[in-house]
Amino acid sequence: AQSVTQPDIHITVSEGASLELRCNYSYGATPYLFWYVQSPGQGLQLLLKYFSGDTLVQGIKGFEAEFKRSQSSFNLRKPSVHWSDAAEYFCAVGPSGAGSYQLTFGKGTKLSVIP
Amino acid sequence: EPEVTQTPSHQVTQMGQEVILRCVPISNHLYFYWYRQILGQKVEFLVSFYNNEISEKSEIFDDQFSVERPDGSNFTLKIRSTKLEDSAMYFCASSPMGANEQFFGPGTRLTVL
């Protein structure tokens, strides 16, 4: 079964500092990978996705992520964090098999930003 | 920009009561999903729906749950007899194709007393 591990439950960074959120996955084939962000009381917003091709993908709000097959990782990065980036970030993998399109989520990383 | 909408935003119910959570997926999407997130836990898949039938469901989605697309726009999740442990945020999502990004609604917070 596929799984997603986000090893950091909570990260605190200063505004303007760089950010890297870690995501490792377990999947038998080439995965589809996603990062979603959830602000308090809000739904899930897609930041970026990887299906194939260039392993460095750009997303919204200045985020990027790099797919590393050898490390089974898809880490999210941002060069300079803004206070409005404070939220919870979820890595997800899918599909889970032929005809199965469910997403499997990690437990999330809560990001706090110090002004 | 089109978006997935969900109603109500918050539902409070008594244990044993039936609830129906409503979703309006993005209009040209073909695949529909329900996920839930118990407070402090990760988002979990419940069910996917395509071509007017369930295409996949998780172990969570037992006989107490059902889904329906009663018309061309709505997609509903019914919990027949709610339990305390059904308290969670329920997210609806849709996608244009199966293996594609899923667009999530804002969620319905269900509180079972």
pLDDT (tens digit per residue) in A54-97? 999 999 999 999 999 999 999 999 999 999 999 999 999 987 66
Q: How far is B64 from chain A (nearest CA, A)?
A: 20
Task: Note every long-range contact of B61-69, with CB atoms under 8 Å and residues 24 or more positions apart, other chains counting.
Answer: B67/B32, B67/B34, B69/B32
Over residues B18-25, the mean pLDDT reads 97
Does the beta-carbon distance from A46 to B55 stay under 8 Å? no
Does the beta-carbon distance from B45 to A46 stay under 8 Å? no
CA gyration radius, chain B: 13
Both tokens of A111, joined, read 């990001």
Q: How far is A93 from chain B (nearest CA, A)?
A: 10
pLDDT per residue over B77-108, tens digit each?
A: 999 999 999 999 999 999 987 767 899 999 99
* Alpha carbons A75 and A63: distance in angstroms, whole number: 10
Give the residues across from B32 on adjacent strands.
B49, B94
Residues in A closer than 8 angstroms to B99, CB to CB, are 32, 94-95, 101
- The beta-carbon neighbor of A95 closest among B43, B98, B104 is B98
CA gyration radius, chain A: 14
Residues in B closer than 8 angstroms to A49, CB to CB, are 101
Who's near A56: CB < 8 A, 6+ residues apart? A64, A65, A66, A67
Who's near A66: CB < 8 A, 6+ residues apart? A55, A56, A57, A73, A74, A75, A77
Chain B: residue nearest A38 by CA? Answer: B106
Over residues B49-70, the mean pLDDT reads 94
Q: Are A49 and A57 in contact (CB under 8 A)?
A: yes
pLDDT-based confidence at A6, cuts 50/70/90? very high
Mutate to test the interface with A, among B104, B108, B109 (most CBs of A within 10 A): B104
The per-residue pLDDT for B45 is 96
The per-residue pLDDT for A95 is 74
Count CB-CB contacts under 10 A for residue A81. 20
Give the range among A95-109, B45-59, B84-98 with minimum mean pLDDT.
A95-109
* Alpha carbons A110 and A90: distance in angstroms, whole number: 9
